[in-house]
Amino acid sequence: MLVQYTIIGILFLGALAFGAFTIILSRLLQPHRPYPEKLETYECGIKTQGTAWVQFKTSYFLYALVFLVFDIETIFLYPWAVKFQSLGLFAIIEMFIFLIILIIGFWYAWKEGALEWR
Amino acid sequence: MGVNLTLITPELVVTGLAFVVMIISLLVPKDQKKGLAYLSVFGLITTLVILYLMIDVQGTLFNGMYVVDAFGSFLKMLVVLSSLMAIIMGVQYVEKFITGFVGEFCFLVLFATLGMMTLVSAGDFITLYVALELMTISFIILVGFGKRIFRATEAAIKYLLLSAFSSGVLLYGLTLVYGAAKTTNIDGIMEYIAQGETPPVLLLGIVFLISGFGFKVSAVPFHMWTPDVYEGAPTPVTALLSVASKGAAFGVFMRVFLKALPGNVELWMPVIIAITVLTILLGNFVAIPQKNIKRLLAFSGVAQAGYMLLGLVAFSTVGVSAALFYALMYVFCNMGAFGVVIAFSQAGGSDEIQDYNGLWKRSPFLAAVMLVSLLSLAGIPPLVGFVGKFQLFKAIMEQGYVWLVFVALGMSMVSVYYYLLVAKAMYLKDPKENTPIKVPMGMQITLLATMIITLFLGIYPTPLTNLATQVAKTFF
C-alpha cells in the first residue's frame, strides 16, 4: 500500500517540480530589458483608457445564457436532422421532449424579463 | 427500444411535477403562488408512496447507466421526505423574506430533488456527474435567490466557486479511474479491479474521488464552505442542503466505493479512516465557540457526516445499515432543529444563539422541539440519535476499531456540551421580550411529526432497523 502511495507522492513532487522548473528556467534565460511602452497594458493596439476594473452590466451574462439555450438546441438538432429518417418515431418524440424542456426554460427567461435591456 | 420506464416512475413523477409547477408559476400572478407549494407537497407525497411500494423492485436501465435497487429507493425516500419538509416549512419564510419567489422556490427544490434521486441511482459515472450537476446548480440558485437576505449572495458565490472546484476534482478522479478501467460503468470497474493489479493512476483517481465526494458530504479537509453557505443561505434551503444533499452525496459515495472499488479496500480505507477521525474531531470542537445557531448546526452537521462515514469504515452489512439508519434519523432531527430556526426568524428573531434566551416562555412548543432534536443529535438515550450512534459504534467495534469507538464516543460527549448550551439559553435565561411566537399550521404539524418520530424510533427502532438491514444487503 505504501509503495503505491509513494508513487503518487512522486507524481505530485514531479508535477510541482515541473511547474517550478519552467518558471525558474524562463526567468533565467529571458533577456530583461524593460522600457515604458513595453510595460504598458496591451489593449488591441490602442492607447489604454482607465483601469480594467470597470463594472459592466450583468445583462450581458443573461443574454449569453439565453444564447446558450439556442446554441445547445442547434448542436443537438443537427445530428438528429441528418439521421432523422433512420432513427424513426422514437427519436422524434425524444427530440420534441427535449425541445419542450428548452422552450419552457426560454419562456421562463422571457417572462422574467431577461431579454429586456435595463 | 425495450426500456422499462415503470422502473423510474418516481423520477418521472418528480420531473413532470417540476415542469407543471414551473409552467403554472409562469401563468399565475406573483402574489398568488402559494397553491404551487400545496401542489408540490401533494406530488412529493405521491412520490413517497410510489417509492415505498417500489422498495423491493430491482432492475437496470439504459445499459446499466441507471440502477434501481433497494439502496437507491431508500435514499430516494430520504431525499423526497426532506424536500417535502423543506417546502412545507419554507413557504411562509420565502413569502415573507423573498416575496414573489414561491414558485421558483418550489420548482428549484423539485429539480434539486430530481438531481439527488438520480444521483443515488447512478450506475455509471456519466449519470453520476450529470445528476450531481443538476443537484448542485439547483442548489446554487436556491442558496442565492434571496438576494435581499443579508449574505445570501456571498454564500451563493462561495458555494458556486467551491462546488465548481469540487466538481472539477471529482471529474478528474472519474477520468483517472476511467483511464485505468477503460469503462465508466460501476459494475465494469468492479470487474476490472477484481482482475488484480492496481495501477498507480487508479489510486490517484481514488484519492481524487475521495476529495470530490468529501466536498459534497462536507468531510473535514473539504468542509470550509459549509458554515458560510449554511449561514448565508435562506434557512429552508440550508435545512434541505444539510440533510438531503448530504444524504444523496453520501449514498453515491457508498455506491462507488462499495460497488466499484471494494477490490482494493485496503488501499483507500486508511484515507477514509483519517478523514473520518478528522471530521468527527474538528466538527465537534469547532462547534463549541459558535455564536450563530446556523453555524453551530453547520459544524454539528460536519461532525454528523463523520459519524455517517463510520458506516463506510465498518465495510460490512451492519455498517451500511447503521449508516443508512443514521442518515434517515439525521433528517428528522436536523429538520426539527432547522424548523425551529425558521419559525423563530419568521417571528422576527435573529439567528444568534443569545436571541434564543428564554424561548420556552415565548413558545414552549418550539423550545421542546429544539431540545428533542438537539439531544437526539447528541445521542441521548431515549431518542433515536442514541440508537443510530449505538448501531454505528457496534458496527465498527465488530471490525476491531476499538480506538475509533473511543474517539467517536468521546466526541459525542463534547457534542452534548454545545447542544446543551443552546438548551441552556432556551430554558434557563430570561427572554428580552415576552411576546409569544405564533407558529403556522403546516410548520406545527411538521415539527410535531419530527418530534414524535424522533421519540418513537428511539424507543422502538426495529421497523427502521429491519428496513435498513434489508437495504444494506444490496452491497455484500
Report the complex ipTM: 0.74
Q: Which of B17, B26, B193 to mutate to test the interface with A (most CBs of A within 10 A)?
A: B26
Sign of torsion over alpha carbons B453, B233, B435, B417:
positive
* A54 located within any domain: no
Percentage, residues of chain B above pLDDT 90: 36
Instruction: Please report whether residue A91 resides in a domain.
Output: yes
Instruction: Note whether A1 contacts B: Cβ–Cβ < 8 A.
Output: yes
Contacts of B204 in chain A (CB under 8 A): 8, 11
Q: Which residues of B touch A111 (CB under 8 A)?
A: 26
Q: Is A1 within 8 Å of B267 when comparing Cβ atoms?
A: yes
**CA gyration radius for chain A?**
26
Count the Cβ atoms, other than its own, within 10 Å of residue B443: 23
Whether residue A63 is found in the same domain as residue A102: yes
Q: Is B358 helix (H, G, I), strand (E, B) or coil?
A: coil
Ranking A77-91, B101-115, B153-167 by mean pLDDT, the lowest is: A77-91
Considering only CB atoms, which chain A residues are within 8 Å of B26? 107-108, 111
% of chain B residues with pLDDT over 70? 99
How sure is the predictor about B2, in pLDDT bands with cuts at 50, 70 and 90? low
A3, closest residue in chain B (CA to CA): B200
Determine, yes or no, domain membership for A34: yes
Residue range(s) defining the domain that contains residue A35: 2-39
Chain B residues whose C-beta is within 8 A of a chain A C-beta are: 1, 19, 22-23, 26, 198, 200, 203-204, 207, 266-267, 270
User: Which range is least confidently modeled, B233-237, B259-263, B393-397?
Assistant: B259-263
Q: Closest partner residue to B200 among A8, A101, A107, by Cβ?
A: A8
| B464: enclosing H helix or E strand | helix B462-472
CA distance B249 to B252: 5
Asked if A104's CB is within 8 angstroms of B23's CB, the reply is: yes
Asked if the structure places residue A31 within a domain, the reply is: yes
Contact at 8 Å (CB) between B265 and B315? Answer: yes
Q: Distance between CA atoms of B352 and B295, rounded to whole angstroms?
A: 9
pLDDT tens string A32-57 = 888 887 887 777 777 777 777 888 77
Residues 75-104 (A) with a CB less than 8 A from some CB of B: 90, 101, 104
Look at residue B1 and tell me whether its pLDDT is greater than 50: no
Decide if A9 is inside a domain: yes
What value does the CA radius of gyration of chain B take, rounded to a whole number of Å? 21
Asked if B351 and B231 touch (Cβ cutoff 8 Å), the reply is yes
Chain B residues within an 8 Å CB radius of A94? none
pLDDT at A25 over 90: yes
In a domain, A75, yes or no: yes
Cβ contact, residue pair A4, B198, below 8 Å = yes
- Give the span between the Cα atoms of A54 and A50, in whole angstroms: 9
Is residue B332 within 8 A of residue B246, CB to CB? The reply is: no
Contact B270 A1 (CB under 8 A): yes
Of A4, A108, A111, the CB nearest to B203: A4
User: Between chains, do A4 and B1 touch, taking CB under 8 Å as contact?
Assistant: no
CB contact under 8 A, A5 and B1: no
As for how many domains chain A has, the answer is 2
Kindly list the residues from chain B whose CB atom is less than 8 angstroms away from the CB atom of residue A90: 1
Answer whether residue B212 shows pLDDT above 80. yes
CA A110/CA A17 separation, integer angstroms: 51
End-to-end Cα distance, chain A: 60
Shared-domain flag, residues A72 and A103: yes
CB-CB neighbors (< 8 A) of A8 in chain B: 200, 203-204, 207
Q: Which residues of A touch B198 (CB under 8 A)?
A: 4
pLDDT, tens digit (0-9, with 9 covering 90-100), for B442-473: 888 999 999 999 989 888 888 888 888 888 88
Per-range mean pLDDT, top range of A45-59, B56-70, B343-357, B416-430: B416-430
